[in-house]
Amino acid sequence: MPVILSADHVSKVFATGRGDPIVAIDDLSVDIEEGEFVCLLGASGCGKSTMLNMFAGFTQPTQGSVRLRGTPITSIEPRCGMVFQSYALFPWKTVRTNVEFGLKVRGMAKRERRERAQFFIDMVKLTGFEDHYPTELSGGMQQRVTLARLLATDPEVLLMDEPFAALDAMTRQVMQEELLRIHESSRKTTVFITHSIDEALILSSRIVVLSARPGRVKAILDNNLPSPRHVDVQLSPEYAELKKQIWDLVESEVRHHDDTQG
């Protein structure tokens, strides 16, 4: 599979008001292939959100380059669509008009975008909630709207920044399965950030383990657990083995990070 998204020796340094600048990411390189589901896994503060923001073009690397199909990303890139942890739905728009947003700004005719929006609303199983406002929905439902809104614009890459972190454990599990189902049918390249080893194992086809601050690639693991995958994959011995392997990689990072914090 051809490489669609790449980070090439990327470093990101944030200037602070006083004291030393913070190195969030240091010399990070990763190639993401078309159709892959890659999880960036790391402890909090490892710069994984910063990396995702660079893929979306919200912020630029201090050094190195971020590329989409070989072209550097220098400004906000709608072909890399982002799912935010806090949903970022427009509160004054209904489910339908939220999902239609990306189509409306592309100048799609009303009837056409309504049809297309309906298709994605159905896909995320929100049929019947078209005229509800986001505040009337649960967290899980709001995240479904965000997903539908993004999928409707047909981006080439889905960037997901801990999208299920704010959900309760049971809803999260349902959403993970939904996402697997959607990925199975759309085959959209997905870069998914998480700090949960379980989530990474359930969702991904490849896991990029990042070291704690500054973020560097610590290891890249292929996740060959059978697919189409189901949440009960967690019961298999292969799963336990992979989990152990990742935990060994991450453990020292977490402890180290915790020590420097404390």
Give me the least distance between CB of 68 and other proteins, in Å please.
13
Q: Which is nearer to other proteins, 146 or 204 (CB)?
A: 146
- Pairing label, strands 37-41, 206-210: parallel
* Nearest to other proteins of 91, 226 (CB atom): 91
DSSP string for residues in 182-220: HHHHH--EEEEEES-HHHHHHH-SEEEEEPSSSB-EEEE
Kindly tell me which of 136 and 251 has the beta carbon lying closer to other proteins: 136
How far separated are the first and last CA of the chain, in Å rounded? Answer: 44
**Shortest distance, CB of residue 106 to other proteins, whole angstroms?**
6
Contacts to other proteins by CB under 8 A: 56, 58, 76-78, 80-82, 84, 86, 88, 90-93, 101-102, 104-106, 133-136, 149-150, 153
Nearest C-alpha neighbor of 242 from the set 195, 215, 190, 204: 204
Q: Which is nearer to other proteins, 43 or 158 (CB)?
A: 158
Peptide bond before 155: cis, by omega within 30 degrees of 0?
no
Closer CB to other proteins, 82 or 200, in the complex = 82
Residue 193 CB-density burial (10 A; 0-12 exposed, 13-18 middle, 19+ buried): buried
Q: Residue 120: name the closest of 145, 97, 86 by CA.
A: 145
CA atoms of 51 and 232, how far apart (whole Å): 31
The DSSP secondary-structure symbol of 211 reads: P
CB of 126 to other proteins, least distance (A): 17
Q: How far is the CB of 102 from other proteins (least distance, A)?
A: 4
DSSP per residue over 108-151, as a string?
--HHHHHHHHHHHHHHTT-TT-TT--GGGS-HHHHHHHHHHHHH
The C-alpha atoms of residue 202 and residue 193 are separated, in whole angstroms, by: 13
We find the least distance from the C-beta atom of residue 110 to other proteins, in angstroms, to be 15
56 versus 207: smaller Cβ distance to other proteins: 56
User: What does the block give as tokens for 84?
Assistant: 């935010």
* Distance of alpha carbon 250 from alpha carbon 211, whole angstroms: 7
Residue 73 beta carbon to other proteins: minimum distance, rounded to whole angstroms: 12
In the bound complex, what is the minimum distance in angstroms from residue 48's beta carbon to other proteins?
18
* Between 146 and 194, CB nearer to other proteins: 146
